[in-house]
Structure 1
C-alpha cells in the first residue's frame, strides 16, 4: 500500500518490513524487556513477535493500540483524498487534533484509547521493568504527546516515527520524560518525516 493511508486496514509486513522487524528486535533485546504489548493488527503483531522470540516473552495484544481509524480515507493516497474530500482535507490540515478524517477518529480519541492500553500493560511490569509497546506511527505520536502532557495543539512538535524505530520514555519525578525519539537506525543518521 505504498503511498496510501493505511489506518486500520490490516496490511501484513512485506519482506522489507520483516527485515526491519528482525533488526529492531536484535537492538531492543538489549533493553531486556519485562513485557511486550502490541496492537492487534498483523503488521504490529509480527513486529512484536520478532522481539518476543528473542527475549522469550509472550506478546499481549490490545486493540487500543491500533492505528487511527480514518474511515473513507483508508487506502487512499494524499492526492486522492484532496481530490475527493477537499473541504474535509483542508479542515484537517488546519486542525489535525480535532478534525475527523473520513468520518473516523480524532487524534484525541486515539490518545485516549492508546494511553489507556499502555496504562493497562504497565500494571503487569515489575518495578524498574521495561515495557515495549508495539503500535503505529500516528498512535505512537499522539500517545507520547499525551504521556508527556504536551498541549493538544503541540503534538505536531514530535516528528513521526519511521518504520521499526522507537521512542524511549522514562518516569521522572514530575511524570514521563522523553529520553529518545525516532531511534533505531543508528549508527546511520535518523531522519523524520520533516526533512
Structure 2
C-alpha cells in the first residue's frame, strides 16, 4: 500500500507502556491487561515529547494498555482519541497468558516454526498478514484525513505496529521480522515522500531529527 504523493504527512506508531505481563514475558495478544504504575509514567513522559510534534489526530487500539497510553497524549494536546478494535495486538489463541518457556514446552514444534519465520497461527490465532489486513486500513484511513504535512499518532502494540509498517512499506511478509521490536512507549515514524511511505525512525524514544545528507 502507498499513499498519494507529495503531501508530506507523518504517521507516528507508538507502542503502549509497560504491563505486568511484559515484565513476566507473557504473551498478551488480545488479553486486556492494564498498565503498571511504571507504564503510566512511561506514557506521560513520552506524551510530553510527542506533543512537541503537534499531532493532528490520535487513534488507538481499544485495549486498556493502549487506550490508557493514548489518554496521556490526549491530556497534553487536547485531541480526542478514536479507538479501533482493528488496532489490537495479534490474537494468539492458547498461547495468550503463557511465557515463552511454557509455550516452548507445550507447543514446541509450532514455537520453533514461528522462530524460524514461518507463517504460523500462534496458538491457533491470527497470521501476521491477517493482522496487517485489519490494522493497515485503519491507519491509512486516518492518515488520509490529514492535511498536507499533518501528523497522525497511532497507539497500538508491538506486533501490530511491526506488521503495519511492513504492509505500508510494501515489504514481503517474510521480511517483517527484520524490523525488530519496539520497547514499551517507544515509537516508529513513517514519513510520506515522492514514492510513498518511508521509515524515518524506528524504536525511538526521543524526538525525530532531520536527516541530513541522506543517500549522499
Shared fold per TM-score greater than 0.5: yes
TM-score of the superposed pair, with normalisation by structure 2: 0.83
* Match of residue 153 from structure 1: 174
* Match of residue 17 from structure 1: 39
Equivalences for 1:34-183 in 2 at 5 Å? 34-96=56-118, 98-183=119-204
Q: Tell me the alpha carbon deviations over residues 117-163 of structure 1, each in whole angstroms, 9 at most, x when there is no partner.
A: 10121233222210000000011111111111111111122110100
- SS of the residue corresponding to residue 102 of structure 1 reads helix
**Take 1:125 and 1:52, find their aligned partners in 2: how far apart are those partners?**
17
* Match of residue 214 from structure 2: none
Taking only aligned residues, the RMSD between alpha carbons, in angstroms, comes to 1.2
TM-score of the superposed pair, with normalisation by structure 1: 0.91
- SS of the residue corresponding to residue 10 of structure 1 reads coil
Structure 1, unaligned stretches of length 5 or more?
187-195
The count of aligned residue pairs is 185
- SS of the residue corresponding to residue 16 of structure 1 reads helix
Runs of 4+ aligned residues of structure 1 deviating over 6 Å after TM superposition are none
Cα distance change of structure 1 residues 104 and 95 upon mapping to structure 2, 3 Å threshold: same
- SS of the residue corresponding to residue 131 of structure 1 reads strand
Higher relative contact order (CA 8 A, sep 6+): 2
Structure 2, unaligned stretches of length 5 or more?
1-20, 208-216
Q: Is the 8 A contact 1:35 1:124 kept in 2?
A: no
**Take 2:62 and 2:74, find their aligned partners in 1: how far apart are those partners?**
15
Q: More deviation in 33-42 or 140-149?
A: 140-149
* Match of residue 5 from structure 2: none
